Chain A
Amino acid sequence: MATTNLKKLSDMPDLLSGGHAACPGCAGPVAIRQILLAAQQDDTYVVASIATGCMEVGTTIYPNSAWRIPLIHNAFENSAATISGVEAAYRSLKKQGKLDKKIAFIAFGGDGGTYDIGLQSLSGALERGHNFTYVCYDNEAYMNTGIQRSGATPKGAFTTTAPAGVVEPGKRQVKKDLTAIVAAHGIPYVAQASPHRARDLMNKVQKAVGIEGPCFINVLSPCPRGWRYAPDQTMQIAKLAVDTCVWPLYEIEDGKLTINYKPREKKPMQEWLKSQGRFRHLFSPKNEYLIEEIQQDIDRKWEKLLALEAMGAGESG
């Protein structure tokens, strides 16, 4: 029986080893370790694909690999298409009696490889109904190539391609709601998670892996380099994202939305924005109006989520 008992899990060997080249304080490897531990249990093996990005570049530097499960990296925009082929191969070889193992397939991608350049390939794989779980580790910009804006970058954030300058306040557009876009595909399971709530994340992974068909988990992955905070603050930052409702933890199972965590007292946007250097410029007098706007955006989305939960719906996100 698969477990999310943290004590038991701490005795299990990590499936992503240490010694990789991710930056100090990167949430990515923390999330991936939790995900792999949750997924590869009992008689189930995990085979994964990964899009080009921080996690791929940092963990697969030839001739070393941090991965203790089979991993395939193909290119940037095709993690979902690649796992489609792998999963099709599995089905084919299994029905021919050439393979008898039980394998769960996970496709990893960052926000660049998922929200933007890989969106088509993800959408295609979801629509075709492959039996896999897509995990996006969302660090809200193209961090691997130097903190460029992505569709996942939130309004007001400083990036190297939407910098705050004399006339520009950073990114002007709101973050794309990818989780809602994915949910609109009507797939069996969609969730948002955060590595600071390990058990919640691992529960979600085990649900997804146990469900026949395509599943999707969007995991917030705070990035000290890009978000400009001290590397030892990563889990606090992740927690703050959830406590401010910037990153709600919820799941949509067969169309029914459940919010997994409701902060007793929603923390104000100011606190979130102040915690990271990427928002520092918002506190200058000429940009302050944006703080209120961002608060309103977040409030509106949270209210909508609550309403969807109350309706027992969720597909329209």
Chain B
Amino acid sequence: MAEKMALTGNDSAAYALKQINPDVVAAYPITPQTELMHKFAAYVADGEVVTEFVPVESEHSAMSAVVGASLAGARACTATSANGLALMWEILYIAASCRCPIVMPVVNRALSAPINIHCDHSDTMGARDTSWLQIYSENCQEAYDNAIQAVRIAEHPDVMLPVMVCLDGFILSHTLEGLEVNDDETVRNFIGEFERSDKLLNVEDPQTFGMFSLQNYYFEFKKQQADAMENAPAVVEQIGREYGKLTGREYGLLDPYRCEDADVIVVGLGSTMGTAKQAADDLRDQEGLKCGVLKIRCFRPFPGEQIRQALQGAAVAGIMDRAISFGLGGPLFHETRSARYGDDAPMMNFIYGLGGRDLSLDDAKDVFRALAEAKESGDFEPAVRYVGLRE
């Protein structure tokens, strides 16, 4: 039986972890992820999970320990933010390359310096080449639903790669929301048992994991990873449909909102898409602007072809980036533009919200208006604009 609960983003991810009931969780505290792990540690302390909780001395060790646990044959999870994710960097690649289906909520936060605890996507955007899947959440309900689906996606035999479940720091992690949670049994049945054939703890068939491999084999391992990423979109969609049948909340790679007849479409990730949807509704009602929103749920693998198709009817698309790839621009913008190679498709890049700077409803409306003006005038310059930046 589904149940209504009021949970913050951190609570909702922790509740999902409780229901996933991983064999091992290793984690290190960092704002704004802290409360997620407080909650989970309390579940451990109250015996509500079977999990062996390893309160490590750093995020580097957190990721190292969950790699060890996962290869041992355990279902393993962790969670982090920003600098913690950066400290894991080396092992993020190893986790993916060793095909460890680890699930990790990442509570998005700006990377230092200056040190800042609030939301942007510089942390996970920096990790976009690590061979982890990245699924972004618009609200606490999605953070909860995504965490549960992530287990199935990660452990799917066609994928066997780790998944980051991204949720915006403070905006979601510390905001109370009414959401619907599944009962424990539903989750247990949905995710099933984790079983890997090549586990380290299979002592009667000793194997070596994490071997040394040079020019003669390394390349083939990487191709297998690339293939697994290619397989992932279909798996994300399949699991999203299955989850939809179970809960009434279906998920895909993208979440288009009023895009069918839209002239101008805003593309982006995470909680900002909720604001953008409201702005689109308001502008349609009040100013007659045909606005649409294309929320990217699955950023890795990048659903380029699906995005290209979703944007085909739009006269202009505005790509919202809460991160900068320094020397290039907004990462989502550049990837979207690549996906639309060959299309006659004007695009503008809006960089916003770094270090937690708020994107208000008015700001979101201004983005739509700027797109509409550019469409009218045919002048799309400057193609990169900073929203809410103090001049």
Contact = CB atoms under 8 A, between A and B. Distances in A.
B26 A72 contact: no
Contact of A85 (B64, B90, B214): B64
Contacts of A101: 201, 203
A63 interface: yes
B82 interface: no
Given A47-B201, A73-B209, A75-B91, A89 B73 contact: yes
Interface stretch (B48-56, B314-322, B370-378): B48-56
Interface of A: 45, 47, 49, 56-57, 60-63, 65, 67-75, 77-78, 81-86, 88-93, 95-96, 99, 101, 103, 120-121, 123-125, 127-128
B211 A99 contact: no
Interface in B135-156: none
B66 interface: yes
Contact of B206 (A69, A73, A88, A95): A69
B271 interface: no
B52 A91 contact: yes
A84 B54 contact: yes
Nearest to A45: B203
Interface in B67-110: 67-74, 76, 90-91, 94
A252 to B, nearest CB: 23
Contacts of B210: 60, 72-74
A91 to B, nearest CB: 5
Given A75-B90, A88-B26, 14 more contacts: A70-B200, A73-B209, A74-B67, A74-B210, A75-B64, A78-B64, A81-B56, A82-B68, A85-B69, A85-B76, A89-B72, A89-B74, A92-B69, A127-B57
B118 interface: no
Contact of B50 (A72, A77, A92): A92
Interface in B169-223: 200-203, 206-214, 217
B387 interface: no
Given A95-B50, A96-B50, A128-B55, A72 B71 contact: yes
Interface string B110-122: 0000000000000
A70 B68 contact: no
Q: Using C-beta atoms within 8 Å of the partner chain, give the interface range for chain B.
A: 35 or more
B297 interface: no
Contacts of A75: 64, 90-91, 94
14 contacts: A56-B212, A60-B210, A61-B211, A62-B217, A63-B211, A75-B94, A81-B68, A82-B64, A84-B26, A85-B26, A88-B24, A91-B52, A124-B61, A125-B61
Contacts of B65: 81-82, 84-85, 88
Contacts of B200: 47, 70, 72, 86
A74 B211 contact: no
Contact of B207 (A70, A83, A90, A120): A70
Given A60-B211, A96-B23, A81 B60 contact: yes
Contacts of B202: 70
B60 A121 contact: yes
Q: In this complex, which of A67, A69, A86, A121 has the most chain B Cβ atoms within 10 angstroms of its Cβ? A: A86
A281 B160 CA distance: 55
B58 interface: yes
A67 B206 contact: yes
A150 to B, nearest CB: 19
Contacts of B58: 120-121, 124
Contacts of A120: 57-58, 61
Contact of B57 (A83, A96, A123): A123
Contacts of A92: 23-24, 50-52, 69, 74
B28 to A, nearest CB: 10
Nearest to B26: A85
A60 B212 contact: yes
Interface of B: 23-24, 26, 50-52, 54-58, 60-61, 64-74, 76, 90-91, 94, 200-203, 206-214, 217
Contact of A61 (B52, B74, B212): B212
Contacts of B23: 89, 92-93, 96
B76 A89 contact: yes
A74 B94 contact: yes
A71 B68 contact: no
A86 B23 CA distance: 11
A70 B204 CA distance: 9
Q: In this complex, which of A49, A81, A125 has the most chain B Cβ atoms within 10 angstroms of its Cβ? A: A81
Nearest to A61: B212
Contacts of A121: 57-58, 60-61, 64
A263 to B, nearest CB: 39
A81 B64 contact: yes
A89 B24 contact: yes
A76 to B, nearest CB: 9
B203 A70 contact: yes
A74 B57 contact: no
B50 to A, nearest CB: 6
Given A65-B208, A71-B208, A73-B209, A93 B201 contact: yes
Contacts of B56: 81, 84, 124, 128
B207 A82 contact: no
A128 B56 CA distance: 8
Contacts of B214: 61
Contacts of A128: 54-56
A61 B71 CA distance: 19
Nearest to B200: A70
A124 B206 CA distance: 28
B37 to A, nearest CB: 15
Nearest to B22: A92
B68 A65 contact: no
Contacts of B91: 74-75, 78
A283 B238 CA distance: 73
Contacts of A123: 57
A89 B69 contact: yes
B54 A88 contact: yes
Nearest to A79: B64
B60 A77 contact: yes
